[in-house]
Amino acid sequence: MPQTPTADVVIVGGGLIGTSIGWRLAQAGLRVTVVAGDAEAAASRVAAGMLAPVTETTFTEEKLLRLTLASIGMFDDFATEVGTASGLPVGLRRTPTLSVASTADDAARLGMLADYLTRIGLESERLTSRECRRQEPLLAPTIRSGLLVGGDWSCDNRLLWAALREAAGRAGVRRVDGAVGRLELAGDRVVGVRLSDGSGIATDQVVVAAGAWAGQLDLPLHLPVRPVKGQILRLDPAGLPQPGLTVRAFSQGAEVYLVPRESGHEVVVGATVEDLGFDPRVTAGGVYELLRDARAVIPMTAEYTLAETSVGYRPGTPDNAPILGASGIDGVTLATGHYRNGVLLTPITASVVAAAVLDGALPDVAAGFTLARFEERER
């Protein structure tokens, strides 16, 4: 009989979250195996890479805002560390994000957001139409006002992910293709994982970082994570001028964002939000709406090459915030449910979840994000 391989810790999911946690644990001396999952469908590949704690926030999510702000505060150092450890580019862009309004309703919404940000002590700058176009000359003349947020950046998540995988590999993380089908338990303790192909890995520590797929694991607990489908496009300016800033707008009730890359060869346009489960279809209607909204904001995008259409799944939770730390099963730690903030929350998730595995306790900054918050509600 073949020997079952063993690991100090097995990470279920090899996206940004899983890979970065594995890297941190390997740096601490553990023998880490990451079971990669489906790279093609991974949100780490499909996402746009906005790092937008401020323009992404809503009035009801102050707790989450504290976490996203803490993570953006770590991002510069994190990106530098990943870059150095891997020798690869990580695609961090420290340029501002500009939220724009084309209608009176949009303008009022931006005004309320600006007031809210001021109230909680965050910086932003209201811009007139003219000022918007000075900041971003490619904007449509129909833009009537904007909100400039210097602290909302972006990162080329594909570059960051590739660099993280390399850094993790150099630190000794073993990466295994395939998906985890279920956890092996002995009583209320984990003793290993079983992959879909039938093979097993013995371990007494498992981190569930399976993104939108976390809810599909066969676990003796209820993990309230659901896939929230997003269709997203990648345009190639192919030599034409591209926006300098990340630009966001509302259009007909849906949000559109345009995220340029340093290379000049990619502007990401996202994204639909569809509660359809795992539905891999790129639809005519989804692509139509994204292209329509992108050209309404930056008309020149119509001249760009439509280089890629893809579908991803945000790991949604009932309160749009991640689920971090203890699972209720001995040896099983959770790091999922990052919804729209997975790239942004990578540095802090890596830190706090690695600490939870190593010390058995989640640092205070993440204390409000355990699974227990949903169980308490249900009682």
Of the candidate residues 10, 65, 143, 235, the single one contacting a copy of itself (CB under 8 A): 235
What number of chain residues touch a copy of itself (CB under 8 A)? 22
> 298: helix, coil or strand?
coil
Of the candidate residues 131, 244, 283, 358, the single one contacting a copy of itself (CB under 8 A): 283
Of the candidate residues 295, 330, 372, 373, the single one contacting a copy of itself (CB under 8 A): 295
Bridge partners (DSSP) listed for residue 145: 101, 128
Q: Is 133 exposed, middle or buried (0-12, 13-18, 19+ CB in 10 A)?
A: middle
- CB nearer a copy of itself, residue 191 or residue 287: 287
> 270: helix, coil or strand?
strand
Task: Give the DSSP letter of residue 98.
Answer: E
Minimal distance in Å, beta carbon 313 to a copy of itself? Answer: 17
CA 67/CA 81 separation, integer angstroms: 20
- CB nearer a copy of itself, residue 25 or residue 269: 269
Q: What is the CA radius of gyration of the chain?
A: 21
233 binds a copy of itself (CB under 8 A): yes
Of the candidate residues 301, 320, 333, 336, the single one contacting a copy of itself (CB under 8 A): 301
Minimal distance in Å, beta carbon 289 to a copy of itself? Answer: 9
281 binds a copy of itself (CB under 8 A): yes
Minimal distance in Å, beta carbon 172 to a copy of itself? Answer: 43
- CB nearer a copy of itself, residue 127 or residue 300: 300
| CA angle, residues 231, 237, 241, in degrees to nearest 5 | 130
Selected range binding a copy of itself among 52-60, 116-124, 282-290, 322-330, rule: CB under 8 A: 282-290
Site for a copy of itself in 306-345 (CB under 8 A): 306, 309
Structure tokens given for 17: 């979250």
Q: Fill in the amino acid letter for 342.
A: G
Minimal distance in Å, beta carbon 306 to a copy of itself? Answer: 5
Minimal distance in Å, beta carbon 263 to a copy of itself? Answer: 17
CB atoms within 10 A of CB 193: 25
288 binds a copy of itself (CB under 8 A): yes
282 binds a copy of itself (CB under 8 A): yes
CA 344/CA 339 separation, integer angstroms: 11
SS (H, E, C) 306-341: EEEEEEEEEEECCCCCCEEEECCCECEEEEECCHHH
Do the strands 153-155 and 92-93 form a parallel or antiparallel pair, or are they unpaired?
A: antiparallel
Selected range binding a copy of itself among 22-30, 161-169, 292-300, 343-351, rule: CB under 8 A: 292-300
Give the phi and the psi of residue 101 in degrees, each rounded to 5: -125, 135
Q: Which residues bind a copy of itself (CB under 8 A)?
A: 233, 235, 238, 281-288, 291-292, 294-295, 301-306, 309
